[in-house]
């Protein structure tokens, strides 16, 4: 791939074969061209089918290879979607680190990102309520650096030794393997109660963060505390943050539930389609930095992964940008075989004594050994773009052929010595550690509720009500009264009103008092509303324009053009996926429009917004179509912006059927519910409503 700027893509090209190259002929794995791959060699004649011969090397090879196609799915984060892209540093952080990738603003670093859900199997649905993984591999000139993060800044547990417990409790229950990809079951909530340290995280898990509208519209967090070292030998603690340019947006729960059935690949497709369309998703890269001397200045331990560093105390410094701009050529060899390790760091970046991170550093390398084998870092997607040389040898599936007579260091030839620091050798920060050997942590690790309350206090009213409904849903799915009954007592430590509402909904103890004094503080950056883009945008939003024969072509073409100009993706939906003709258009000579989908093929849930142009005959047809009415009603119920012109105004009004809603068939009305109706098409108001409705989610 001559001229390819992305060094990793160029590197991958050397391992890539194109199936569409017409010169290929089918061969066996050992290179012999095959003449017939449809019929197993057998003893047969025209009038008699005889036994198949074990002798057939091609038949056996084909079946053997098929039998072994699968590798173990990831024990967590099994379902995911990945893409290539680049990282650009916009501002040098040389005051705090010597890492080339965080100091050299002239270089663009190739990256691969894999998003995932945590609990479900590889084939589970995308839109389930779950934490999302956000793992980034930077192919830097100094080696691979992985930030293996989530879309929530905190974690359920403080110590890695508890990881098997939290995952066992969340995964399907052991006796019947139910439920798939759900936290709504007894064991998950039993674990949450038994571990007060999980309180902060489960509040996040019950918020809109766990039902993102798109991978492209969620934040990413390294979660753990890492360290940065600069040229002066100074060390800082650091947290890594990704913030999407499109803002942070979520589904409403009913949408997420329905899409899990209607389109289980919704997020995977959404990412794929945006990249194919050239609407490259972008994130700002931020760091929060605390000098080593200030480690103990906070009322929480900064090494505790169940805590955020509130922005008021530790501001985020945005220094870079991540862009995803290329889909994979093959899912298995890239998205499935990519393997991340928190232990992959480069000079200038280090670990902290965060007890969750330290355990993770052991776990990831270990899991790759069983998932991919000892030579997993030779796989094309995992291979660094910088030179790799050492005396690690052999093992299953070794690819590199290393010439020479020695395979150890030091050797009599003085060959392949370690690199000194000036040559880029990684030198650990010399940290003085004094302590007792004991299974314990600092006393600040024992406080678990303050930030759970801080998070809840910081949410907007609609977000709070979503937390209530999520808890109501989840605990309703627990059938053990012990499990759902006592959760309300935990919630009473956070917010009495919430606890009482949950108790009312799901049963269990009705708390009478706030059992932990509230601090009533709030912090910025915890509510999703804090991330509305400075310039509101509807780029990449999917808008369904519903028409039938006799539609108003001016309104249809007008809104379509306006939406396209704003970077949105209009789709035409009609009763049939065949040509639809406008009012006055002659069917024998007119061109008509070909609908992208028919009303039964899709659902309103799969679009961000719905628009119905006028046209007496079209609207009359839609009125009589129960599915069309359902589209409007459902979109309204999911708080989506709905637009209508001309005759469609009354159709929308009747479909939504809400008292007090203002409608206009003459002048323009933008109803407070986000419904825009007008006699003449005015795309601007509709665009504004669209931005509001899904961006702010003001209504419950």
Per the annotation, where are the binding residues for heme?
364
466 binds ligand HDD (CB under 6 A): no
Q: How far is the CB of 132 from ligand HDD (least distance, A)?
A: 8
Query: Residue 242 CB, nearest distance to ligand HDD (Å)?
Result: 12
Q: Binder to ligand HDD among 339, 454, 492, 573 (CB under 6 A)? A: 339
Considering only the stretches 74-82, 177-185, 285-293, 646-654, report the one whose residues sit in contact with ligand HDD under the rule CB under 6 A: 74-82
Q: Which two tokens stand for residue 163?
A: 């990881």
User: Nearer Cβ to ligand HDD, position 41 or 75?
Assistant: 75
Contact call for residue 218 and ligand HDD (CB under 6 A): no
Per DSSP, 386 falls in state: S
Among 28, 124, 279, 363, binds ligand HDD (CB under 6 A): 363
- Shortest Cβ 557–ligand HDD spacing (Å): 43
Task: Note whether 237 and 167 are within 8 A (CB).
Answer: no
User: Which residue number is nearest to ligand HDD in terms of Cβ?
Assistant: 133
**C-alpha separations of 419 from 77, 138, 389, 413, 424 in Å:** 36, 21, 11, 16, 6
Residue in 564, 589, 566 with CA at minimum distance from that of residue 579? 589
Q: Which of these ranges, 195-203, 253-261, 354-362, 539-547, lies near ligand HDD under the rule CB under 6 A?
A: 354-362
* Total residues interacting with ligand HDD, rule: CB under 6 A: 26
Return the residue of 8, 79, 86, 114 that touches ligand HDD, per CB under 6 A: 114
User: Alpha-carbon distance 635 to 630, whole Å?
Assistant: 8
Q: How far is the CB of 218 from ligand HDD (least distance, A)?
A: 12
Q: Does 80 bind ligand HDD (CB under 6 A)?
A: yes
Task: Give the span between the Cα atoms of 132 and 126, in whole angstroms.
Answer: 10
Does residue 155 touch ligand HDD according to CB under 6 A? yes
Judged by CB under 6 A, the stretch of 73-81, 567-575, 610-618, 686-694 that binds ligand HDD is 73-81
* Nearest by Cα to 219 from 244, 254, 191, 193: 244
Q: What are the residue ranges of helices labelled H in 212-354? A: 253-262, 266-276
Separation between Cα atoms, residue 107 and residue 525, nearest integer Å: 30
Q: Does 628 bind ligand HDD (CB under 6 A)?
A: no
Give the range of 91-99, 248-256, 352-360, 413-421 binding ligand HDD by CB under 6 A. 352-360
Q: Is 305 in the site for ligand HDD (CB under 6 A)?
A: yes
The answer to whether residue 75 forms part of the interface with ligand HDD (CB under 6 A) is: yes
Site string for ligand HDD, 115-134 (x = CB under 6 A): -x----------------x-
Is residue 128 within 8 A of residue 256, CB to CB? The reply is yes
Distance separating alpha carbons of residues 355 and 249, to the nearest angstrom: 32
**303 contributes a contact to ligand HDD by CB under 6 A:** no
Q: Does residue 137 interact with ligand HDD by CB under 6 A? A: no
User: Does 149 sit near ligand HDD (CB under 6 A)?
Assistant: yes
- Candidate residues 150, 151, 327, 540; the one interacting with ligand HDD per rule CB under 6 A: 150
Residue 148 binding ligand HDD, by CB under 6 A: yes
Rg (CA), the chain: 29
The question of whether 224 is a catalytic residue gets the answer: no
In angstroms, the CA 421 to CA 347 distance is: 9
Q: Return d(Cα 192, Cα 201) in angstroms, integer.
A: 9
Q: Which of 210, 337, 367, 458 binds ligand HDD (CB under 6 A)?
A: 367
Count of H helices and E strands in the chain? 17, 19
Please name which of 153, 139, 206, 229 lies closest in space to residue 456, comparing C-alpha atoms. 206
d(CA 665, CA 682): 13
Residue 655's SS3 state is helix
488's enclosing H/E stretch is helix 481-491
Nearer to ligand HDD, 223 or 599 (CB): 223
CB of 83 to ligand HDD, least distance (A): 12
Q: Minimum distance from CB of 519 to ligand HDD (Å)?
A: 25
**Structure token pair of residue 687:** 């665009």
How crowded is residue 220: how many other Cβ atoms within 10 Å of its Cβ? 27
Name which of 360, 293, 278 is nearest 327 in CA terms: 278
Catalytically annotated residue among 77, 195, 448, 638: 77
Residues 6+ apart with CB under 8 A from 280: 85, 274, 323, 324, 325
Q: How far is the CB of 600 from ligand HDD (least distance, A)?
A: 36
Please choose, out of 15-23, 146-154, 450-458, 667-675, the segment that lies near ligand HDD by the rule CB under 6 A: 146-154
CB 604 within 8 A of CB 635: yes
For residue 170, state whether it binds ligand HDD (rule: CB under 6 A): no
Among 364, 581, 607, 611, binds ligand HDD (CB under 6 A): 364
Cβ of residue 193: shortest distance to ligand HDD, in angstroms?
20
DSSP state of 624: T
Residue choice 74, 129, 267, 307 for contact with ligand HDD (CB under 6 A)? 74
What is the spatial distance between Cα 618 and Cα 628, in angstroms, rounded to a whole number?
A: 11
Q: Which is nearer to ligand HDD, 355 or 683 (CB)?
A: 355
Q: Which of 6, 84, 144, 150 is catalytic?
A: 150
Q: What is the nearest approach in angstroms of ligand HDD to the Cβ of residue 168?
A: 12
Give the phi and the psi of residue 289 in degrees, each rounded to 5: -125, 135
Tell me if 135 contacts ligand HDD by CB under 6 A: yes
- Give CA separation, 544 vs 600, 636, 684, 687, in Å: 13, 13, 17, 13
Handedness of CA 320, 326, 329, 332 (dihedral sign): positive
Give the residue with the Cβ less far from ligand HDD, 339 or 648.
339
| Residues in the chain, overall count | 700
Where is the binding site, in residues?
364
Write out the two tokens for 671.
């109803």
Whether residue 77 lies in the annotated active site: yes
Report, in Å, the least distance between residue 159 CB and ligand HDD. 8
Q: Please state, in angstroms and rounded to a whole number, the distance separating the CA atoms of residues 443 and 434.
A: 16
User: Which residues are identified as catalytic?
Assistant: 77, 150
Q: What are the residues binding ligand HDD (CB under 6 A)?
A: 74-77, 80, 114, 116, 133, 135, 148-150, 155, 160, 163, 223-224, 305, 339-340, 356, 359-360, 363-364, 367
């Amino acid at each position: 791939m001559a001229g390819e700027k992305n060094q990793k893509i160029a590197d991958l090209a050397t391992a890539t074969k194109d199936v569409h190259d017409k010169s290929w002929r089918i061969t066996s794995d050992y290179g012999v061209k095959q003449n017939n791959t449809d019929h197993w060699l057998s003893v047969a004649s025209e009038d008699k089918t005889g036994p198949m011969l074990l002798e057939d090397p091609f038949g056996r090879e084909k079946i053997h290879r098929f039998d072994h196609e699968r590798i173990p799915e990831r024990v967590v984060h099994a379902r995911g979607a990945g893409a290539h892209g680049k990282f650009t540093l916009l501002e040098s952080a040389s005051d705090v680190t010597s890492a080339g990738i965080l100091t050299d603003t002239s270089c663009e670093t190739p990256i691969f990102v894999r998003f995932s859900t945590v609990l479900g199997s590889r084939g589970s649905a995308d839109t389930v309520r779950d934490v999302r993984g956000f793992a980034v591999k930077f192919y830097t000139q100094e080696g691979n650096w992985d930030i293996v993060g989530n879309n929530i800044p905190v974690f359920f547990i403080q110590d890695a030794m508890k990881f098997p417990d939290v995952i066992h409790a969340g995964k399907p229950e052991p006796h019947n393997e139910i439920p798939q990809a759900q936290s709504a079951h007894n064991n998950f909530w039993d674990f949450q109660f038994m571990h007060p340290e999980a309180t902060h995280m489960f509040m996040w898990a019950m918020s809109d963060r766990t039902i993102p509208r798109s991978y492209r519209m969620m934040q990413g967090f390294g979660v753990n505390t890492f360290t940065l070292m600069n040229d002066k030998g100074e060390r800082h603690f650091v947290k890594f943050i990704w913030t999407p340019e499109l803002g942070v947006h979520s589904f409403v729960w009913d949408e997420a539930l329905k899409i899990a059935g209607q389109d289980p690949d919704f997020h995977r497709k959404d990412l794929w389609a945006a990249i194919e369309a050239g609407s490259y998703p972008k994130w700002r890269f931020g760091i929060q930095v605390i000098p080593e001397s200030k480690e103990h200045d906070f009322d929480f331990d900064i090494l505790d992964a169940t805590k955020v560093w509130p922005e008021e105390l530790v501001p985020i410094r945005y220094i870079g940008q991540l862009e995803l701009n290329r889909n994979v050529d093959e899912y298995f060899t890239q998205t499935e075989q990519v393997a991340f390790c928190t232990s992959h760091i480069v000079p200038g970046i280090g670990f902290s004594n965060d007890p969750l991170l330290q355990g993770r550093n052991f776990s990831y390398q270990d899991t790759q050994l069983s998932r991919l084998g000892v030579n997993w870092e030779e796989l094309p997607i995992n291979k660094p773009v910088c030179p790799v040389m050492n005396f690690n040898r052999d093992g299953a599936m070794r690819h590199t052929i290393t010439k020479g007579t020695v395979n150890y260091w030091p050797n009599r030839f003085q060959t392949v010595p370690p690199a000194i620091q000036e040559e880029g050798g990684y030198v650990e920060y010399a940290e003085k550690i004094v302590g007792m050997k004991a299974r314990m942590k600092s006393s600040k690790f024992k406080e678990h509720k303050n930030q759970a309350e801080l998070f809840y206090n910081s949410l907007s009213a609609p977000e709070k009500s979503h937390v209530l409904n999520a808890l109501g849903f989840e605990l309703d799915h627990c059938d053990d009264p012990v499990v759902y009954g006592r959760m309300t007592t935990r919630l009473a430590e956070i917010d009495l009103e919430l606890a009482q509402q949950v108790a009312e909904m799901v049963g269990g103890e009705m708390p009478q008092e706030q059992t932990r004094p509230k601090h009533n503080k709030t912090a910025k950056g915890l509510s999703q509303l804090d991330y509305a883009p400075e310039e509101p945008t509807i780029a990449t939003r999917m808008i369904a324009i519903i028409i039938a024969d006799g539609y108003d072509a001016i309104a249809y073409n007008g809104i379509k053009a306006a939406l396209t100009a704003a970077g949105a993706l209009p789709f035409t939906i009609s009763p049939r996926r065949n040509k639809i003709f406008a009012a006055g258009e002659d069917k024998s000579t007119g061109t008509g429009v070909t609908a992208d989908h028919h009303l039964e093929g899709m659902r309103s849930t799969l679009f961000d917004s719905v628009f119905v142009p006028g046209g007496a005959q079209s609207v009359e047809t839609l009125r009589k179509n129960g599915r069309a009415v359902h589209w409007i009603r459902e979109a309204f119920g999911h708080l989506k912006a709905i637009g209508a012109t001309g005759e469609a105004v009354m159709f929308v009004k009747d479909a939504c059927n809400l008292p007090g809603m203002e409608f206009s068939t003459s002048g323009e009305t933008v109803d407070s519910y986000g419904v825009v109706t007008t006699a003449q098409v005015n795309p601007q108001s509709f665009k504004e409503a669209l931005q509001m409705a899904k961006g702010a989610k003001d209504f419950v």
